[in-house]
Amino acid sequence: MILYETEHLKIELDDEISAMIVTWRGFTSSEEFRAGVDKILALMAEHDVKRTITDLSEHRVISTEDQDYAAHASLHFTRDHWQVKRALITPKDVFTRFGIKQVNAQIAKEEQQNRQFFATMEEARVWITMED
């Protein structure tokens, strides 16, 4: 079920695996990216989402400031709500991949989160449904 969709972001619930699927595509402005992060987190709280798969394979580079924004927003969500199991599909673009790894390294410094990177949606779906 699609909950939200723009040119660069799609957020859906997959009842089969009880997870939110987030797909980022192309280049997003800082304003669009931050609004998207906020929308994702609001929908996670609204729908009691405990597992996510974020497909970043077609996403493009985001600024260091936006990386920091996403990291802090994720940490605040965990502290205010609950721990989320997160599967991330690695970006094809090497610069975007580096940025995403930086966000995750920043989060890991402050708090342990259950995050894993995958090359494909199929791998992510298998892992996200495994019991911890």
Domains of the chain: 2-129 (3.30.750.24)
What is the band of 22 on the pLDDT scale with cuts at 50, 70, 90? very high
Has residue 19 got a pLDDT over 70? yes
Q: pLDDT value at position 115? A: 84
Average pLDDT over residues 67-89: 91
Q: What is the pTM of this model?
A: 0.89
Three-class DSSP category at 5: strand
The mean of the pLDDT values for the chain is 90
What is the band of 91 on the pLDDT scale with cuts at 50, 70, 90? confident
Q: pLDDT value at position 63? A: 87
Q: pLDDT value at position 132? A: 65
Has residue 2 got a pLDDT over 90? yes
Q: What is the DSSP letter of 90?
A: P
CA separation for the pair 103, 108 (Å, rounded): 9
Give 22's contacts (C-beta < 8 A, 6+ positions apart).
9, 10, 11, 40, 52, 53, 54, 55
